[in-house]
Structure 1
Amino acid sequence: MKTIEFSNPHRKKHFDFFREMNHPHFNVTANVDISKLLSILKDNKLPVNIGMVYFLSYTANKIPEFRWRIRGDEVVEHTLVHPSFTVSTDVADVFSFCTVDFSLDSKTFFAKAKAVMEKMKTNPSLEDEEGRDDFLFMSTFPWVSFTSLQHAMHYHPSDSVPRIVWGKFFEQDGKTLMPLSVQAHHAIVDGRHIGQFFQDFETMASDPSSIIVKK
């Protein structure tokens, strides 16, 4: 982890401007083509939900600003950020948080995620580890091919952890599309960074075989 110094005065002004807002987060939702990605996951008999967590986390970790976090008057950059995503439980009709240490190696991550998800089904949790902000908050909303999304969150003080949600897949023009929502704190993540996220994800989803470690 390192501290980010804004040497450019305009970039510092941008940070201060959005940090002082009551609602500093912004959200972009768009449909992404996952046709090839789904095919690779199914061919390798890999769970689709874990696959989405892995590929979205992989994409976010490649963009430095998605690893930046605001701590008081400082901004820090984590070496790696880890998905904390929602899973269904066997004990109630509401979800549990499921945090898995991220690994760029897909085989390692899938194994970790399966083990933690099984534990959370019978021992659910809604608490984050105190003092940690090296998360990516993720969720799936598989009932609706949504076109927009709003999150429940603290605004005073606001946190700077990105939120990533994907919805119900649908077919269009021979492709399988997935609604994807990305929300971030505008003081550290700008529109071009979220645009880069969408572009990088779709590029990777079009040729995921080089990243997936086959069984």
Structure 2
Amino acid sequence: MQKIDRSTWPRAEKFGFFSAVSQPFYSVTFRVDVTNLHAYTKQRGLSFYYALVYLATNAVNAVENFRYTIRDGEVWLLDKRIPSLTDLKPGSEQFHIVTLPQEETLEQFCAAAKARSEAQAHFLDQDDKELDALIYFSCTPWFDLTALTNERDFDRDDNIPRIAWGKYVPDGAGRETLGMSVEVNHRFLDGIHLGRFYQTLQASIDALEP
């Protein structure tokens, strides 16, 4: 983790401007082509949800602005963020939140997330020391997601990305897409950074070989 010198930080002026805004959070929703990911996970018996969490975590960590946080009034750059995802046990309507470190490979992460989720007996199991280094993930596989709002305790220092997606649906041209919502803090992230996240995520999905 690296402390940011705000006197030389290129974003200092924007950070100050959006710090004066009463509500600095915003969200966008865009389509992601998940055709390759669906085929890849189906062939290998992997969870599509866990696999997309893995790839989205990599895409978040590839964009520096997603990794800023504030501790004791100072801006820091985290080495990486950690996925924290909602999940359902089979046959249950009561979701729980699973938090676990990123594994080296997609297959390893899917196995670890499945084991952690199945073993978890409580709604929430997190280490308080890592809370500001999380990424909040969720999924609504019952319908196509076109927009989303998130609950939150208002804290303008909160830079935890909130990422969710809905059901993948055919696009009429032989591809499958889903709507993905990303909510961020404008003190740290602009549209260009969300664009880099999207491009990195889409490229990683397109590179999969079913």
Provide the TM-score with structure 1 as the length reference: 0.88
Check whether the contact 2:99–2:125 (CA below 8 A) recurs between aligned residues: no
Check whether the contact 1:22–1:156 (CA below 8 A) recurs between aligned residues: no
Residue in structure 2 matched with residue 142 of structure 1 by the alignment: 141
Q: Deviations over 1:142-192 (max 9, x none)?
A: 122121110001114552100000111110121100110111111111110
1:128-167 → structure 2 map (5 Å cutoff): 128-132=126-130, 133-167=132-166
**What amino acid does structure 1 have at the position aligned with 2:30?**
A
Given the superposition, is the C-alpha separation of residues 113 and 24 from structure 1 closer, same or farther in structure 2, using an over 3 Å criterion?
same
Give me the whole-angstrom Cα distance separating, in 1, the residues matched to 2:138 and 2:154: 20
Question: By how many angstroms is 1:47 displaced?
Answer: 1.2
Check whether the contact 1:22–1:155 (CA below 8 A) recurs between aligned residues: no
Check whether the contact 2:29–2:147 (CA below 8 A) recurs between aligned residues: yes
Q: Deviations over 1:55-98 (max 9, x none)?
A: 11111111111111122421111212110000114796331110
Give me the whole-angstrom Cα distance separating, in 2, the residues matched to 1:92 and 1:16: 45
Residue in structure 1 matched with residue 48 of structure 2 by the alignment: 48
Give me the whole-angstrom Cα distance separating, in 2, the residues matched to 1:191 and 1:86: 26
Q: What runs of 5+ residues in structure 2 fail to find an aligned partner?
A: none
Give me the whole-angstrom Cα distance separating, in 1, the residues matched to 2:162 and 2:41: 23
Give me the whole-angstrom Cα distance separating, in 2, the residues matched to 1:19 and 1:165: 25
Aligned to 1:101, the other structure's residue is in SS state coil
Give me the whole-angstrom Cα distance separating, in 1, the residues matched to 2:154 and 2:32: 29
Question: By how many angstroms is 1:17 displaced?
Answer: 1.8
Percent sequence identity over aligned pairs = 28
Give me the whole-angstrom Cα distance separating, in 2, the residues matched to 1:72 and 1:140: 33
Give me the whole-angstrom Cα distance separating, in 1, the residues matched to 2:119 and 2:124: 14
Between the two proteins, the alignment pairs up a number of residues equal to: 208
More moved, 91-100 vs 131-140: 91-100
Check whether the contact 1:67–1:77 (CA below 8 A) recurs between aligned residues: yes
Q: What runs of 5+ residues in structure 1 fail to find an aligned partner?
A: none
**What amino acid does structure 1 have at the position aligned with 2:102?**
F
Residue in structure 1 matched with residue 79 of structure 2 by the alignment: 79
Given the superposition, is the C-alpha separation of residues 191 and 103 from structure 1 closer, same or farther in structure 2, using an over 3 Å criterion?
same
